[in-house]
Amino acid sequence: MATFYNQAILSYNGNTTTSNITTGEILEVLSASKTAVVDEYSSGDAVTYVVSIINSGASAFSGLTLTDNLGEYTSGALTLVPLTYTEGSLQYYENGVLRPAPTVTAENPLTITGISVPARGNATIIYEARTNGFAPIGVGGSITNTAVISGTNVSPVTVEETIGASEEARLTISKSLSPATVTENGVITYTFIIQNSGNTAAVATDNVTVTDTFNPILGGITVAFNGETWAETTNYTYNETTGVFATVPGQITVPAATYTQEPTSGAVIVNPGVSVLTVTGTV
């Protein structure tokens, strides 16, 4: 609701006098809301946003524009945008009926033109954006995404939605062999590097396990985790008949990643947490 004021001036014979001040109100008939389908995000995730515009007035609106800042924020002297619009994802409904999508005239900031809202009706705009290398992904990170609906003779309507960075471990594993060429009855070592790009450590209660079937079967194995020698049964199991190796659930832990922001570009750099498992035996 907007209030306006008006006062008249009367001039005569070099004199002036003013009228009383009149006060009026403009009832804003457009309202809007914005919702993200998910509450949390990780690096590279797709996030779907739903913007609902309601027209409580007796006249339709047309030619409206939606401008979305895609979570723009500042870091030092830099202005960074943590979301990238997914081209072709726009869907548009009037009173629940799918209509041809309006025009995306720019993608940063995302600008959608040609929106109409029926009298005493609603319009729904749905689009997807993906988190990019500028998205804060550390513990406590968030993206606040603001959109403005504007048009001729329309008071701009601002809506926003905040989603938080997922607090989770994100593990990957790689395996290497040394030496790659070995004589019969020679000794080889398998090295498993487990990396955590998430902002939360993988702990014992996460029950992380590594299993492998060695072919050829290894004999007389020794196992170490982060340089500490492991004991069979307590930390791992191994069957020398089948070659099946497995760590005991809860024995493997991996520290959380750390994150730094590159000062020139503003890109978020992930420094994964790392744990190393080695298995050495005779072929």
pLDDT in tens, 38-87: 999 999 999 999 999 999 999 999 999 999 999 999 998 999 999 999 99
Task: Quote the pLDDT of residue 32.
Answer: 97
- Identify which of 1-5, 11-15, 27-31, 94-98 has the greatest average pLDDT: 94-98
Of 202, 201, 83, 87, give the one whose Cα is nearest residue 142.
83
β partners of residue 191: 176, 278
| 196 and 167 Cβ atoms separated by less than 8 Å | no
- Give the CATH class of 30-165: mainly beta
Distances (CA, A) of 28 to 75, 85, 109, 118: 36, 30, 26, 15
Write out the two tokens for 131: 């988190």
Task: Quote the pLDDT of residue 4.
Answer: 67
Same fold, 30-165 and 171-282: yes
Residues 6 or more apart from 243 whose CB is under 8 A from it? Answer: 213, 214, 215, 216, 217, 218
Q: Report the predicted TM-score, pTM, of the whole model to 2 decimal places.
A: 0.80
Name the DSSP class of 232: B
Exposed e or buried b per residue across 157-171, where buried means at least 16 C-beta atoms within 10 angstroms of its C-beta: bebebebebbeebbb
Domain boundaries, the chain: 30-165, 171-282
Q: Would you call 240 helix, strand, or coil by DSSP? A: coil
Name the DSSP class of 186: -
pLDDT band, residue 182 (cuts 50/70/90): confident
Report the alpha-carbon distance of residue 131 to residue 134 in Å, rounded: 8
Exposed e or buried b per residue across 183-206, where buried means at least 16 C-beta atoms within 10 angstroms of its C-beta: eeeebbbbebebbbbbbbebeeeb
Q: What is the CATH number of domain 171-282?
A: 2.60.40
| 209 and 252 Cβ atoms separated by less than 8 Å | yes
